Structure 1
Amino acid sequence: MPLMSFEGINVIYNQGQPNQVHALKDVTGTITEGEFISIIGPSGCGKSTLLHTLDGLIHPTAGHVYINGKRIEGPSGEKAMVFQDFALMPWQTVFQNVAFGLRLAGKKDRDVKDHVMRFIKMVGLEGFEHKYPHQLSGGMKQRVGIARAFAVEPKILLMDEPFSAIDEQTREIMQEEVLKMLQQEKKTVIFITHSIDEAVFMSHRVFLMSVRPGRIIDDLKIDIPYPRTLETKLLPQYQEYKSKIWDHLKGEVTRQYQKGEA
């Protein structure tokens, strides 16, 4: 049994209204425990809508999402989200932000100190636990968001373009570090990105989506062994995967222009 499956997902915003938008159509897939799945597609194809539906934040118009065969109806402790805009509380310290999910569960800081510090150390922020977000760089803020997600110990991490707001050099370092953390913690990841390079570098499989209404029209296996390093990007098959994804995106964007939606 897959860890997560979703069948016939349709999402229609403002259904029955003149401004109705069919965001997702008949989206179906399975994800095995420990997999890193990237979702990539043209702008506006419903990537974030799909991620939020898998998290339970959006209820699909049709179709269902399952974890270990059990239908999910909303957010739960089995899943945690990492956002692209950090989503930190500016009035709280690094420690307090990482402990946020645990506090929501009714636990006190003093009861989870060692647990929270473990993940602060894991993301390389030991010594910054009493700093506030305005005192951190963009990369450091994203590390806090990742530590916060890990701290609640979910089965599945949902990551919505988590590196899009940081510079390219930090982004490449973060890709390697996150892969190391995921292998250490044995997490399953569903990851949205606009970067072809990022999708190939990090993923076991890449879901390629169509223009709206979004569908998964290909499930591309990235057959490159882990651990992956920056040298991985020099491999011939790495470039072949990038070319295949680019050909897909180019074709879908062309369709988007032809439909007058770009």
Structure 2
Amino acid sequence: METVVKTKTPILQFDSLNVIYNEGEPNQVHALKNVSGEIHEGEFISIIGPSGCGKSTLLHTLDGLLKATSGTIFVNGSPVHGPDGDRAMVFQDFALMPWQTVYQNVAFGLRLAGKKESEIRDKVMHYIKMVGLDGFEQKYPHQLSGGMKQRVGIARGFAVEPKVLLMDEPFSAIDEQTREIMQEEVLKIMLNEKKTVVFITHSIDEAVFLSSRIFLMSVRPGQIVEEVKIDIPYPRTLETKSLPEYQEYKQVIWDHLKGEVRRQYRKGEA
């Protein structure tokens, strides 16, 4: 992968985001506090932090599914006021429609956008083949393994050709062996399609393997307290994980995460 050239306008920019659930109520929760960041075209950004720190809240806010209490979000310089075709989400629980086939699930977003059936067919088949599911177009979700279901979700996200693909712990529900293969596959797709990805994970190994940069979050209220640039060239393979620098990055991330988890325990929230 070529070195990311930071353009004048980030593809995704967010500034001073605050999210407060049940604001003003006794059970008020300050989930995000003054969260800011910039993401440039072609980057793979992972967000990692202790459980309950607001990672998914941040992703859903960037997608427009959740409205921030305060702060701003811009995509290519235009303000975000809700969900839009320039962003697509891949969820951790697959979120497939069980009554629809693989083809229909991948086509869903395109049909919602009013695309012509000929265009839908070409794009759906392109992305089904890209995730290695050609031949399974007419299968239903209950006929697929966990890894195959997640591939359908990824194909659906890419099919609408968003500027930014948002992925919320997409591999958490699949076994470890499939997870490692899926990591390689997502990187291949991301590089081939020249996509920008924002990725939530609890796995330090996964974050280091996939990312060009990692945003490290604090305990709640969540803040981005550090950024780590991963200077390991793409393309990466599973052999990359044996590199000394790879292990060093993992230690840096663990040292941060360990400190935040200890803070969480001291606060009685773990």
1:157-176 correspondence to structure 2 within 5 Å: 157-176=165-184
RMSD: 0.8
SS of structure 2 residue aligned to 1:207: strand
Pairing 1:197–2:243 present: no
Name the residue aligned to 2:10.
Answer: 2
- 1:248 is matched with which residue: 253, 256, 262? 256
Shift of 1:107: 3.2
Name the residue aligned to 1:86.
Answer: 94
1:178-257 correspondence to structure 2 within 5 Å: 178-257=186-265
Number of residues paired by the alignment? Answer: 262
Shift of 1:137: 0.3
Q: Which amino acid aligns with 2:80?
A: I
SS of structure 1 residue aligned to 2:50: coil
SS of structure 1 residue aligned to 2:208: helix
Unaligned segments of structure 1, at least 5 residues: none
Q: Percent identity?
A: 77
CA distance in structure 2 between the partners assigned to 1:147 and 1:251 by the alignment: 37
1:1-262 correspondence to structure 2 within 5 Å: 1-107=9-115, 109-262=117-270
CA contact (8 A) 2:31 2:222 kept: yes
CA distance in structure 2 between the partners assigned to 1:112 and 1:217 by the alignment: 42
SS of structure 1 residue aligned to 2:137: coil
SS of structure 1 residue aligned to 2:109: helix
Shift of 1:26: 0.5
CA contact (8 A) 1:99 1:109 kept: no
Taking structure 1 as the reference length, the TM-score comes to 0.99
CA distance in structure 1 between the partners assigned to 2:268 and 2:77 by the alignment: 40
CA distance in structure 1 between the partners assigned to 2:37 and 2:115 by the alignment: 36
Shift of 1:106: 2.1
Shift of 1:108: 5.3
CA distance in structure 1 between the partners assigned to 2:98 and 2:205 by the alignment: 32
Shift of 1:110: 4.9
Shift of 1:105: 1.3
Cα distance change on mapping 1:152 and 1:218 into 2, 3 Å: same
